[in-house]
A = this chain, B = another copy of it.
Amino acid sequence: MKVAGVLGATGSVGQRFILLLAEHPDFELRVLGASPRSAGKRYVDAVNWKQTDLLPESAKDIVVVECKAEEFKDCDVVFSGLDADYAGPIEKEFCENGLAVISNAKNYRREEDVPLVVPIVNPEHLDIVAHKRSQDKNKGFIVCISNCSTAGLVSPLKPLVDKYGPIDALTTTTLQAISGAGFSPGVPGIDILDNIIPYIGGEEDKMEWETKKILGKLSKDNSTVELVSPEEMKVSAQCNRVAVSDGHTECISFRFKNRDQVPSVEDLKKTLSDYVCDAYKLGCHSAPKQTIHVLEQNDRPQPRLDRNRDNGYGVSVGRVREDPVLDFKMVVLSHNTIIGAAGSGILIAEILLAKNLI
């Protein structure tokens, strides 16, 4: 059992980490970090628990500490659910003190030597960690979890690009769940009841940029990630917030670069169905047995019905069909707090463990 800690433990993402770590076969949750206001309290007294599952007994009595590396020195891995406002210096201090940090914050996603990982998509980017640790086995590192809507987008793209070559142009219009906005205050009820908010600050830029990093390649020495260039792949995102609790739906269209041999709709569906993510092959505990569920009913996937496939680690794809403007269009549904946030963090740790990197 590896020892785990959680930063930002009282927040929305922190609570999800704690749920996913309870009774995890590989990790024992031992350290919880939060703001100075919470430090010193038992977790059960510090948190306003708002999950549908009960607060795990094993976490209740842990005394919350401040977010300082010294407090987490016994941790083999630290999961960070910190807000971007705080994550920068804290995660840096942890990294400098030799800790392995898996972060949901956006702060370091664009550093070229920081892997930005959707664990069912590009676990090979974790070789950057192997490269670092090969130089100094006690070296700290940060691995970033991708933006939630990006995770859903790239999941079906990966097997398609692997098989049919680069994507030339890609558009996505998202219908995103409110749980992605956290608790305090998150999306006000009066703004989302009988309504849509056609804007999520920074989200479109994240999707357009992060997609190019996640689908990018490692440099030869495994020290950095090289982005797909904007000339090679044009990505356009339109992001909306809708009255859904969990589960991001995306309507995507795309065109392959290779015009000679465009696959058929049936080819695409088979390629998606056949995809087995490396994390599953590595035997990781949380890896989805079926990475991508291809649904045949016209009116699926639907967030309420399909978001929990493979405990939220499986992505659902439906309505694969030809597109009059680009080549194909389809609907993608992913669980924003699992494969789009805390859940990905846990699966990344499982992969690191399987690769002896923590």
Contacts and interface: CB of A to CB of B under 8 A. Distances in A.
Interface of A: 50-52, 54, 169-171, 173, 175, 178-179, 181, 183-199, 201, 208, 230, 234-236, 238, 240, 242-245, 249, 251, 253, 298-305, 308-309, 318-319, 323-326, 329, 331
A238 B195 contact: no
A183 B305 CA distance: 14
A-B pairs with lowest CB-CB distance, top 6: A185-B185, A173-B173, A195-B304, A199-B299, A238-B251, A187-B189
Given A173-B173, A324-B230, A303 B191 contact: no
B189 A243 contact: yes
A318 to B, nearest CB: 7
B198 A249 contact: yes
Contacts of A304: 52, 193-195, 245
Given A185-B185, A198-B302, A325 B169 contact: yes
A305 B52 contact: yes
A196 B51 contact: no
Nearest to A197: B299
A208 B181 CA distance: 34
Most buried by B among A189, A298, A305: A189
Contacts of A243: 189, 193-194, 242-243
A178 B189 contact: yes
A302 B196 contact: yes
Contacts of A185: 184-186, 188
